Amino acid sequence: MVAPGRPIGAPDRDCLHAFRQAAAQVRGSTVIDHGREIKLRGELVAGEYRITADLLETEPFRSLALSVRLVYQNDEPAQFGRICGIIEQCGDAAMQKEERRLKREYNNALNTHSPFFQFIGLFVYHPFLVLTDPRYSPRGMFETWLYHGVFHQDLRRRADYEEFSALGDVFPYTVQSVVLLLAGRTLDLDDVVADLLQEERVPRIGSPEASA
């Protein structure tokens, strides 16, 4: 069934296909394909509370982050918010409902730390910095890593990068958590885009199609 709403124009269709290509890269990364997970833990050692994390290997994670960056950066045709806007204009009510849910979850991943991280902020680190300073938000940490630590060298972010690095595993854990959460929402939104374009959905992990 063709979705109600305004017809999909050529520029919007190009953006939707760019998003599908980015989502295919995300799905094809070894991190996603193997269902890898990360974990943050705290333990009391000799009277000192220490934070450690099980993290992804650097190169597979960088590869995934490159793909996620295609839907994150504002100047990309596949930018997540742009795609949501197209679905708002061209999708049916069910597509719009799902798109709005995913957009909320996408933004929540960038703006809200996990409950355990919030606990760490209150009892291990300075609560004002970790819980109220926007630099310490998931978005702030991710963008500092993105624009100074890895893919760019924005010197205005160097001091923040060094400050976050002093937190130990908390910094890379936060960055990896953001990327994994955005990757998941990207794949979910790609299902909606596939339905809008009347194309095949990308097989998910563990599905018969994925293992065929």
Q: What's the token pair of residue 176?
A: 């990896």
- d(C-alpha 72, C-alpha 74), whole Å: 6
Domain limits of the chain? Answer: 10-197
- d(C-alpha 84, C-alpha 16), whole Å: 10
Q: What's the token pair of residue 87?
A: 């679905």
pLDDT per position as a tens digit, 91-126: 999 999 999 999 999 999 999 888 777 776 655 665
Number of H helices, E strands in the chain: 11, 2
Q: From the CB of residue 74, how many other CB atoms can be counted at a distance below 10 Å?
A: 8
pLDDT per position as a tens digit, 32-73: 988 899 998 877 777 777 788 899 999 999 999 999 999 999
- d(C-alpha 186, C-alpha 183), whole Å: 5
Q: Decide: 203 and 209 in contact? Cβ < 8 Å.
A: yes
Separation of first and last alpha carbons in the chain: 28
**Helix, strand or coil, per DSSP, at residue 150:** helix
Strand partners, 40: 53
Closest CA to 180 of 56, 1, 6: 56
Q: Decide: 162 and 2 in contact? Cβ < 8 Å.
A: no
Residue 133: alpha-carbon gap to chain centroid? 21
In this prediction, residue 212 carries a pLDDT of: 45
pLDDT per position as a tens digit, 149-200: 787 778 888 999 998 898 888 899 999 999 999 999 999 999 999 999 999 9
